[in-house]
Structure 1
Amino acid sequence: MNGLVAFIQQLFIWGYFLLVIGMAVRVIMRRLPVGVTLAWILVLIVFPYLGGALYLLFGERFLGVKRAQREARLRFVYLDSVPLSLPPIDWRRYHSAAEPLARLEAFVSGIDPVGGNRVQFIETAPAIIDALVQDINQAQSYCHIEFYIWQPGGATNKVVDALERAVERNVVVRIMLDAVGSSAFFGSKPYRRLTRIGVSIEKACPIGVIPWQLARYDLRNHRKSVIVDQRVAYMGSFNLVDPEFFKADAGVGQWIDVMARVEGPAVVQFDAVFRWYWQVECGTTLPDALPSAPAAAGSALLQVAPSGPDVAKESILNALLQAIYGAKVSVDIVTPYFVPGEALEHALKIAARRGVRVSVIVPEKVDSFLVRHASHSYFSSLLEAGVAIATYGKGLLHTKAVVVDDSLAFFGTVNLDLRSLWLNFEMTMIIYDAPTVQQLAKVLAAYRQDSSEVHIEQWRQRSALSRFIENIVHLVSPLI
């Protein structure tokens, strides 16, 4: 018996060393960012067997063989077919960082900036839902809808009713919802109502366990967009939920969101991205051809910037860094989940130290213990560098925006955490038009008035236990 126990102990010990060494080599050979690599190695050392399983499930951006093949084949089919006539852009009219930023994003995504657009920012859930219903009621050809979360019930039933009326007018409705985020919707009464009348509803990023299927639970489609007849597009942070009921028991208050309503040629680009991902997800060719591009509706120069694990690594992160390093006067950030990582942290600190006013607004309460403490672990170094941090107390501020010098902005679904920057399928609208950026800046200024500044002296007085928890969570923050 003693010999058997000793054998099992030796087997466990050798298994531990072989697993840690083997998985560590695999991690190192992936050439991930240093912080991410070290965090995974720490997890493998502390939890070797569990850590190895977690790495295989969550450590690599594996999209599945069949999906990757479809994506490679279709990536530019729709984007190249966008019927836009793009006049030369006089970049002297825009921020000095605008032209190199636009070139960088066009290199990554293949999508050029386009002018002639009009943007309206809608700031409350009732107003967003009413605007969606009004535009769906005017649909004549199709409605394309994409959300991370669609929670059935409440005010969202107005959208279901509008879609039913649209189908009665022979409008084609296609809906793409994240398989995990919208799991409550599938099988719900609204789902049955819509599928019964012929609405196509696809699960984005379905979970599979076999190699040719998407096998990572945390690679999610985090986009939120609606396109109606290529006449109007909506995009932003708002999930299709009724904030009065959504996560009401989470103790963080109602979720605060903004959606942008866009008219003009950029709508075609939003629609092209939807069509591209629809065909990647379901593998079927859409029957209707792209209609002609809409006429100019305003003067805003916009660039559609989809990001995700299927495009160049850190694509949206690099764009953000490019803009922050080009800031001259101010950088204003609003994000619900703030775990910036080393590159963004250094960019913000450098900007503050060279005299740029850097402001970060985050919710006072968030719905994740790990994210809350990981976020707090960055506060001290940022405050010491001169970055202003404020906490919003009137609900879970879910808007995601970065405004540079009140003349250049990022708006959409990207949180300033490594999950959004690396893993999720996201959608950003880069705004180069100063008057439109200033509209967004007013929204952020209103948030600031309802926020409390974090003072460095007070922050230093928090408990030793809080600091310890933050530092522990910081070690694995690259993985959150």
Structure 2
Amino acid sequence: MKKTAKIAVFLILLTVLIVVSYIMRDHSFFTGFSILFSVTALFIAVVISLENRHPSSTLAWLIVLALFPFLGFVVYMFVGQSYRKKKMFYKKSLEDEDIYVRVENSLQQEKCEFGWMEDRQKQFLNLASKLGKTPVSFASETEVLANGDEKFAALFDLIDKAERHLHLEYYIIRHDKTGTTLKDKLIKKAREGVEIRFLYDAVGCLALSPSFISELRSAGVNMEPFFPVKLPYFNQKINFRNHRKIVVADGQYGLVGGLNIGDEYMGLSPYYGFWRDTHLKITGEAVNSLQLIFLQDWRHATGEKLVPEYFIHKWGNPGGKNQGGVQLIAGGPDNEWEVMKNLYFSMIVSAKKSVWIASPYFVPDEEIYMALKVAALSGIDVKILVPDKPDKKTVFYASRSYFGDLLKAGAEIYEYEKGFMHSKFVIVDGEIASVGTCNMDMRSFHLNFEVNAFLYNTKSISSLSLYFEKDLTFSKKMTLLDFNNRKLRNRVFESLARLLSPLL
């Protein structure tokens, strides 16, 4: 990557010299300015090609630069420079490893062959453990929270009962009725002496009022932004966002899932109406891993080194055949491997009977897309649940461009009509499931910091399956005939949006 960066700098200097020479010969400034951006777009195209990106991503950027040289240049400078990515996250990877080593004894698990598992489950568990660097717990309980009422009731209960410390991490926080209730409860606990750390995403919370933050800080809540972006300077940080939703109370209880903080997630938005989402409450030793993920993010955002006393549980010996396992795994651009994408891919290709997916944003990359088509062609029950109305129109139309081939292959696609469907989970064969913050899209796979709970033969998988089947009763099943008869305008929007899929 250093070589690529040097080439880019050389090309910039060469471009500037050419344009200055041209202008000095009495040609118009605007002509020289036009040449500057045209040649700049050309050098960016060369740099992108040298970076050996995925072909679809390379092609998407080249199309943008060809059609919109000026706009493409600006967008690339903000979000497209992958040669800086490794350097940007190298420090975080070192910090994460340091924290992991410091608490390794607390997270140590006795070695077990997991003899009761099938071979394909063992293979997936080995992959998940290697990519996620977190152990699986067979001594933890999980509870599915199926909407805002259940999630916020659980959240506020954990806050009310906390005695020592609270750790919260969210992508979006609204200063509305729900957000104010959270703020007031945190202020009350902080004044009671509870140690509170609150990490929020700087871009996701861009509209959050300064008074909300200042009130919490004044009360003693340690509230900090993740990856703050100082506009209008070009800054690639704007494209790498912390999409995680984590709560850890006293190191004993945890929450993870798709619900942010705000009235809309309680179903109070006039546009969205009922908000269908999924969260997970975790009790027991698996909370250690959720705590670890939070502390790694906190260390990167603040530089504060936190010690192992925040880990309450000791890892026990894996239990019997029917206890089930829970594993918390983080994925993000700081990881060498595309953690969530590879785990989703492994789940799909390991399926023997069924693959059920719920995702509000369905923009799979080529590998996931092919795996789903092959699974459907093989006779596996592939069901995909998506919203019937958009909250992000470009993503909405891009997702529909993938439906045709999936329907032809035999997959079933359902559009949720009761309200807005924001759940993010995958269930395979009713035996392995994943629920958390990761969508089935390229942004979650390649750009966002995500966290999911992976479940192995737990009772919560049955709960997720029942909720999924119930969701289908509030959904319209898409047919290939209906899809082929959609309006020409929609076809055009879908095709254009799909070109941008690798950038979404």
TM-score by length of 2: 0.87
> For residue 328 of structure 1, what is the aligned residue in structure 2?
352
> For residue 36 of structure 1, what is the aligned residue in structure 2?
57
1:347 to 346, 350, 371: 371
Change in Cα spacing, 1:63 to 1:225, as seen in structure 2 (3 Å) is: farther
Q: Deviations over 1:369-392 (max 9, x none)?
A: 101110111111111111100000
Residue 275 (1) aligns with residue 261 (2): no
Change in Cα spacing, 1:103 to 1:362, as seen in structure 2 (3 Å) is: same
2:490 to 418, 442, 466: 466
> For residue 105 of structure 1, what is the aligned residue in structure 2?
128
Conservation of the 8 A alpha-carbon contact between 1:403 and 1:441: yes
2: CA distance between counterparts of 1:47 and 1:25?
Answer: 16
- The one-letter code sitting in structure 2 at the alignment partner of 1:253 is G
Residue 285 (1) aligns with residue 309 (2): no
> For residue 388 of structure 1, what is the aligned residue in structure 2?
412
Change in Cα spacing, 1:23 to 1:85, as seen in structure 2 (3 Å) is: closer
- Bigger Cα displacement from structure 2, 77-86 vs 235-244: 77-86
Shift of 1:326: 0.5
2: CA distance between counterparts of 1:91 and 1:383?
Answer: 38
Q: After TM superposition, list the pairs within 5 Å mapping 1:76-475 onto structure 2.
A: 76-80=97-101, 81-82=103-104, 83-188=106-211, 190-208=212-230, 215-243=236-264, 248=269, 251-286=271-306, 289-293=309-313, 299-475=323-499
2: CA distance between counterparts of 1:231 and 1:75?
Answer: 22
- Bigger Cα displacement from structure 2, 60-69 vs 47-56: 60-69
- Bigger Cα displacement from structure 2, 70-79 vs 38-47: 70-79
- Bigger Cα displacement from structure 2, 140-149 vs 281-290: 281-290
- Bigger Cα displacement from structure 2, 108-117 vs 289-298: 289-298
Shift of 1:74: 1.3
- DSSP 3-state at the match of 1:332: strand
Change in Cα spacing, 1:109 to 1:244, as seen in structure 2 (3 Å) is: closer
Conservation of the 8 A alpha-carbon contact between 1:327 and 1:404: yes
2: CA distance between counterparts of 1:230 and 1:365?
Answer: 39
- DSSP 3-state at the match of 2:93: helix
- The one-letter code sitting in structure 1 at the alignment partner of 2:253 is V
> For residue 78 of structure 2, what is the aligned residue in structure 1?
57
- The one-letter code sitting in structure 1 at the alignment partner of 2:272 is V
2:48 to 15, 19, 27: 27
- DSSP 3-state at the match of 1:304: strand
Q: Deviations over 1:40-96 (max 9, x none)?
A: 011111112221221121113577899635413311222231413423344343354
Conservation of the 8 A alpha-carbon contact between 2:330 and 2:452: yes
- The one-letter code sitting in structure 1 at the alignment partner of 2:214 is R
Shift of 1:11: 4.0
2: CA distance between counterparts of 1:141 and 1:67?
Answer: 34
Shift of 1:156: 3.6
- DSSP 3-state at the match of 1:52: helix
- The one-letter code sitting in structure 2 at the alignment partner of 1:366 is P
- DSSP 3-state at the match of 1:162: helix
- DSSP 3-state at the match of 1:38: helix
Q: After TM superposition, list the pairs within 5 Å mapping 1:9-28 onto structure 2.
A: 11=32, 14-15=35-36, 18-28=39-49
The answer for unaligned runs of 5 or more in structure 2 is: 1-23
Change in Cα spacing, 1:86 to 1:422, as seen in structure 2 (3 Å) is: same
- How many correspondences in the alignment? 475
- Bigger Cα displacement from structure 2, 135-144 vs 283-292: 283-292
The answer for unaligned runs of 5 or more in structure 1 is: none
1: CA distance between counterparts of 2:389 and 2:81?
Answer: 30
Q: Deviations over 1:432-460 (max 9, x none)?
A: 12433222111211111111100111111
Change in Cα spacing, 1:235 to 1:197, as seen in structure 2 (3 Å) is: same
2: CA distance between counterparts of 1:69 and 1:314?
Answer: 15
TM-score by length of 1: 0.92
- The one-letter code sitting in structure 1 at the alignment partner of 2:279 is M
- DSSP 3-state at the match of 1:203: strand
Shift of 1:354: 0.8
Change in Cα spacing, 1:274 to 1:414, as seen in structure 2 (3 Å) is: same
